Structure 1
């Protein structure tokens, strides 16, 4: 594939990523504005993330069987169609917004995972080994840029548009992604590898065996789950807290997400410098504690700005924490089982996000929305106090 085709492919993927960011902005606002119910926002978050997470184990096989191009076209076409139908159905049946939007997000979330994994597995086949680091850096840039530009643009448009109009805009962005891949012609045609359902199941079982053989991996996974739980609660409750509890305009929700995206980029650049002066273990534990402090601050926040500070502290520290987790666990996993074990760990980590949705759906009405931040942060604090000494003793990154 020549450079122009590569750029065309990456631009089409950026359009799709931007469409996904628009949905992440609009959906919680649509549901909360129409229901005024925090529990339903949490339930919608669960409905969104469950298919996104559970589809991960089959996404690689799906891409191998159909080929990246077919997966891209199918994913963008389905998401475009579903968003368009969702927009029209809301116009026709405004009393059924929760059901309509939840269905839209569950379908879009499933195909988001398919397109994401297809991109990860296709790019190495399209560029030379020498150009692969540059291509991967560009892909990282697409994710980071869309996470900043998407919410910022959505926040500006929210001043002039209704929330459900974002479904129409997302449909247009997915359409651009679809057309971009279509115009590539045969450039994305790569040889399709064959994989069996039995092989997928064997890989999952082998990954589970490695986890059980190395208890330290289970500890690291538990730490990641607790961090993701705090972040998940923040994602699920951001819209109702900002527009309801703090009584801010919808555009302020975009400001929150843009701030988180900017901090993610800042931490991305700080990591190489910090690791020159401190051990990866020390940085990881510090980042973990920063996430807990951010969670506590969100729980006790009595105004918008304190909540943003807590959100920024928690989300901005996850990048540094993930560097520690990835660096530590790769030294424990046998190299021949690295891919299948990491795949299972990622699945377990991501399951904490729909779990956060269930916690919000069930717990917000019983203990209060902000109390969920305090409780989850306290649980995470107790766990790190319990396992810190053996974790430090056994760490391979504490040098």
Structure 2
């Protein structure tokens, strides 16, 4: 083997090892901790308070701080570096979880326990959001460094998130049943500590555009408006997320009330969907290598829109399960496209601030979707889903049409060396 070829192979191997050690492993530990927190804490609240209303409130308390913290967290990451914020958030989550693991057995029930678990839900929600924004920023740095192979980085990161989504609820339930609240919180703390320890120490690069915390949302919004391609993609996916949120909120009514199946059957739907999404993300990685981002994204958008229209008319559990899995697979492919485009288009100095705005816009439709389902009579739910599916199809069609007309080099075929 020629000397320069051997050196190139060693360099490529070193880069792969570096990204696995410095990005994928910390992200895996953090995703596991975040998933256990997101799905395990409401179960913990139910186990300790025996209150369905408090369980729902705990889930809301996990998400309200996340949505409220986007602008501030993005600004902090831009100012102090993603690795620093990620490490500090993971360590703080570890300390909060350990403190609760010690306090809950000592309290022994009553109002003190209720206050503790509700405060735990809010604190873990906030800290999980901090580590998520920091981790996404690190993933964007790696995507830019990978050049035309950036979508491969994003497909791996999305696969990590999907595995955590698949395993988190089951792991949280198992730990709570077998080891109790303290055992579950201790494992959550261990994942958080592992993520902090695995994160390499990096010196933050100097920021060309220093962002004040109070101005983070304004800077992110104005910069997003200056990137029409990204803005159109975010708008289309926000409409798509509204439809997905309606389907998720309506799932218990469809599966339990209309189709006559149990809550366990509903859980199976989302587990199968997560597994199929993993396969779809891997397939999208190879397809993007061959055909480029735009064709694959357009195919995923078309699949999601068509399947969503069909879900509204599903009359059997098997049909509903298959259609939901295909729908979520299409959404997984769209997420790979979004993350790759976002990583290449957003300027690095203000990446976290703009990321915070884009994620906020993508998550904001979910509470609106829940309100729509709550206000819609069960008999009219199918019509509401059909209307949302038409809105989703129109939004995605306009978004990808605008991306196509702008003829971005990024959205063309990907060169594979």
Q: TM-score, normalised by structure 1?
A: 0.70
Name 2:91's counterpart in structure 1: 73
Name 1:143's counterpart in structure 2: 161
Distance of aligned partners of 1:378 and 1:283 in 2 relative to their CA distance in 1, 3 Å threshold: same
Distance of aligned partners of 1:398 and 1:363 in 2 relative to their CA distance in 1, 3 Å threshold: farther
Name 1:379's counterpart in structure 2: 391
What is the SS of the residue equivalent to 2:312? helix
Name 2:10's counterpart in structure 1: none
Shift of 1:74: 1.0
Name 2:309's counterpart in structure 1: 296
| RMSD, matched Cα | 5.1
Distance 2:304 2:356 in 1: 24
Name 2:7's counterpart in structure 1: none
Kept in 2, the 8 Å contact 1:12–1:176? The answer is: no
**Deviation digits for residues 253-277 of structure 1, max 9, x if unmatched?**
4423322222222122112332355
Shift of 1:174: 1.5
Shift of 1:142: 4.0
Q: TM-score, normalised by structure 2?
A: 0.67
Shift of 1:200: 3.7
Shift of 1:107: 3.4
Distance 1:103 1:233 in 2: 28
Distance of aligned partners of 1:194 and 1:385 in 2 relative to their CA distance in 1, 3 Å threshold: closer
Paired residues for 1:255-294 under 5 Å: 255-294=268-307
Distance 1:281 1:7 in 2: 31
Whether 2:343 is the aligned partner of 1:325: answer no
Deviates more, 1:47-56 or 1:257-266: 47-56
Shift of 1:316: 0.6
Distance of aligned partners of 1:24 and 1:198 in 2 relative to their CA distance in 1, 3 Å threshold: closer
Distance 2:396 2:139 in 1: 38
Distance 2:127 2:278 in 1: 26
What is the SS of the residue equivalent to 1:300? coil
Distance of aligned partners of 1:193 and 1:206 in 2 relative to their CA distance in 1, 3 Å threshold: same
Kept in 2, the 8 Å contact 1:151–1:255? The answer is: no
Distance 2:106 2:252 in 1: 23
Aligned length: 382
Name 2:13's counterpart in structure 1: none
Deviates more, 1:202-211 or 1:187-196: 187-196
Kept in 2, the 8 Å contact 1:89–1:100? The answer is: no
Shift of 1:369: 5.1
Give the one of 114, 124, 128 matched to 1:112: 128
Distance 2:357 2:316 in 1: 39
Distance 2:100 2:259 in 1: 32
Distance 1:325 1:67 in 2: 24
Question: Structure 1: which 5+ runs fail to align?
Answer: none
Distance of aligned partners of 1:167 and 1:205 in 2 relative to their CA distance in 1, 3 Å threshold: same
What is the SS of the residue equivalent to 1:347? helix
Name 1:56's counterpart in structure 2: 70
Distance of aligned partners of 1:87 and 1:142 in 2 relative to their CA distance in 1, 3 Å threshold: farther
Kept in 1, the 8 Å contact 2:155–2:336? The answer is: no
Shift of 1:112: 0.9
Kept in 1, the 8 Å contact 2:66–2:125? The answer is: yes
Deviates more, 1:111-120 or 1:382-391: 382-391
Kept in 2, the 8 Å contact 1:232–1:356? The answer is: yes
Name 1:171's counterpart in structure 2: 185
Shift of 1:223: 0.5
Distance 2:400 2:135 in 1: 38
Distance 1:317 1:197 in 2: 37
Distance 2:109 2:365 in 1: 34
Distance of aligned partners of 1:253 and 1:62 in 2 relative to their CA distance in 1, 3 Å threshold: farther
Shift of 1:309: 1.8
Shift of 1:387: 6.4
Distance 2:310 2:51 in 1: 27
**Deviation digits for residues 148-177 of structure 1, max 9, x if unmatched?**
33345568x49x959xx9866542321323
